[in-house]
Amino acid sequence: MHTAAPVTMPVAGSGAGPGSGSSPRTRHARISPLAAFRMFWPLVSVNRVAVLASAALLVTSAGCDAGAIGIVGVLTDDVLTPGDLAAFWGPAALWLGLALAGAVASTAGGYLAGWTSEHFLLGLRDRVFQHLQRVPPDALDRFGTGDLVSRLTGDIETVESLVTSAPVELITSAVGAVVFATAAFWTSWQLALITLAAAPLIWFGARVFGALMRSATRAERDSNGRLASLLEESLVNMPLVQAYGRQQVEYSKVHREGRSWMRAGLRQIRLSSVYGPMGELLETLSVLAVIGAGAWQISQHHLSVGGLLSFAAFLGYLHPRLQELGELVVSASSATAACERLIEVLRTGPLPETAPREGVPPLAEPVRGAVTFQDVGFSYAGSGRPVLERVRLDIAPGLLVAVTGPSGTGKSTLGKLLLRFHEPSRGRILLDGRDIAELPVEEVRRHITLLAQDSMLFDGTVRDNIAYGRPDATEAEVLAAAVAADAHDFVSALPEGYDTPVGKRGNNLSGGQRRRIALARAMLRTAPVLILDEPTAGLDDASTTRIMAPLRRLTAGRTTFLITHDLRLTAQADLVLHLTDGTAVITTPDQSSTTSVQPEHEAA
């Protein structure tokens, strides 16, 4: 069974991060079908034996067809014309044997080709999804959820047609064309030359239509992605749409994008509608020319009736092969647009998966949770000014630090840097005295728990969501976390208790219940460092009061960064870090100011 994880596909170019100024319509990848094939071929090469075997079997099937066609001429000249029934049995048995062999080869070859295609789809989808899991969340915002789903489904299936199906079809069609062309030349080289005169025209038409189809497909796939994102956004926000009476506005937006997608699709249909009949017209002209020339050869006794029938049969198999080769050029150009869209995702740079430097030991256990920011600065790519500049913090293990300040001053960015969603533009962040840039991302995050502002729940049971951060937790540990988060009572009252489904995004629960489930999940993880991002946002006073005690239990003994505007939470902090534009002020809840840190501004 193919596993995608160890496969490496080189992707040139640097990633576009958040704030890079790239819009969803901006395209960075421009590659040829051959370059796209080379880029994605490693995911197929692990199954190259199956690819070659399927091609060989399909070629064998074509050979059996050619042999069967040759027998038609023999039966015509040696059996039908003289009326010799005794001469029938030998060619008939050979024909039946070739038909059986061809059927077996075609069935086995088709199955192997399909098997390879399905494994490629699985491997490529795994590869792209694994990449997305390593990309900072902010960097994915420029695509949109619906567009990413479109790339992970429709675009990947289109890429498969280029990388997996196309080589097999190319080999079988090319070899089939050679086999039938050779047989046609053997039967009558004059008629064969007439037939092959149409080949350059088919090839030229395929190149022209391929370039047009590539542009049309790119527009269709981009429009499909935008429509998917728009639908996803509108459906998620449907309560707001209905409450504000904006149904017609949203319908108009969806209709406009739908028309754009329809126009792009109609352009593809127009091109396909023209290309197919043109090929059939050329084929008809070739057949008529062959029949005319063949009739003349029969009249001159240069060719028998059986020979002409055999040649016509060879021609019936040869022209579809030539047509398939032309269609491969068109479909390859079309599939390249999907390849470009996937490459654009793969070029969105993930955070570096840095391994520990040689000779540098891992974090000493147990991790205490001491956090130090040493002259840390950070700017989003393309932004006009730094979000953070020369931030200096030295937080002892177990302290609760409330992070406050106006929007846009870098409060959430502090947490993202600590979680290594981004790397500092300058300075270092230390965990227990160790530079986190020297450690693998997984090890850093293993010691940090995030409680996001949005109580993110998955479509599973209450138990599944509480144990999400520690799937190996025992039943007793799950229950203890729920009790500590003040969630056990309401969970026990649910129809199926801890086995009750929470629904999509936890829609079966109230906001306060979702928040307490998220608290229980954070408590179960027991990491020494905790990041709380607006834990009371969106809750009413009663719900806020309800989670105060669980929050105190959650932060006890942990180094906690509490991002909040809630003064009730700030009052419980050991230190308050107030971020403003260019100034970081550290206070304690019972003091107005203990330390003022004025960053050293650098020249622009």
Cβ contact 186:309 at 8 Å: no
> What distance in Å separates the CA atoms of residue 377 and residue 425, rounded to the nearest whole number?
5
Q: What is the DSSP string of 421-440?
A: SS--SEEEEEETTEEGGGS-
- On the question of a common fold for 33-346 and 368-447+527-604, the answer reads no
Residue ranges in 431-510 assigned as alpha helix (H)? 441-446, 462-466, 475-484, 488-492
CA atoms in the 13 A half-sphere facing the CB of 192: 18
Cβ contact 249:170 at 8 Å: no
Q: Which amino acid is at 250?
A: E
> What distance in Å separates the CA atoms of residue 308 and residue 310, rounded to the nearest whole number?
5
Cβ contact 263:174 at 8 Å: no
> What distance in Å separates the CA atoms of residue 192 and residue 307, rounded to the nearest whole number?
13
Contacts of 207 (CB under 8 A, 6+ apart): 329
The three state secondary structure string of 357-379 is CCCCCCCCCCCCCCEEEEEEEEC
pLDDT of residue 191: 67
Q: Which of 569, 573, 567, 600 is nearest to 587 (CA)?
A: 573
> What distance in Å separates the CA atoms of residue 418 and residue 121, rounded to the nearest whole number?
35
> What distance in Å separates the CA atoms of residue 14 and residue 344, rounded to the nearest whole number?
10
Residue 518 is encoded by which pair of tokens?
Answer: 């998220």
pTM of this structure? 0.66
Distance of CA 553 to the CA centre of its chain: 40
Residue 205 is encoded by which pair of tokens?
Answer: 């038409």
Count of Cβ atoms closer than 10 Å to residue 511 Cβ: 14
Query: Mean pLDDT per segment of 10 residues, for the chain of length 604 residues?
Result: 41 40 45 77 79 82 75 70 72 83 86 85 85 78 77 82 77 74 69 66 65 72 76 69 72 82 78 67 65 64 63 67 70 76 80 56 82 86 75 87 81 86 87 87 85 80 88 88 86 89 83 85 86 77 74 83 81 82 64 40 30
Strand order in the sheet with 583-587: 448-451, 529-533, 559-563, 400-404, 575-580, 583-587, 595-597
Q: What is the DSSP string of 198-260?
A: THHHHHHHHHHHHHHHHHHHHHHHHHHHHHHHHHHHHHHTHHHHHHTT-HHHHHHHHHHHHHH
The helix/strand/coil state of 108 is: helix
The helix/strand/coil state of 336 is: helix
Longest dimension (CA), the chain: 117
Category of 25 on φ-ψ map: left (φ > 0), alpha (ψ -120 to 50) or beta: alpha
So where are the chain's domains? 33-346, 368-447+527-604, 459-521
Count of Cβ atoms closer than 10 Å to residue 56 Cβ: 17
Q: Which of 347, 351, 349 is nearest to 31 (CA)?
A: 347
Burial class (CB in 10 A: 0-12, 13-18, 19+), 419: buried
Domain at 33-346: CATH code:
1.20.1560.10
Yes or no: domain 368-447+527-604 corresponds to CATH 3.40.50.150: no
The three state secondary structure string of 134-201 is HCCHHHHCCCCHHHHHHHHHHHHHHHHHHHHHHHHHHHHHHHHHHHHHHHHHHHCHHHHHHHHCCHHH
> What distance in Å separates the CA atoms of residue 555 and residue 531, rounded to the nearest whole number?
10
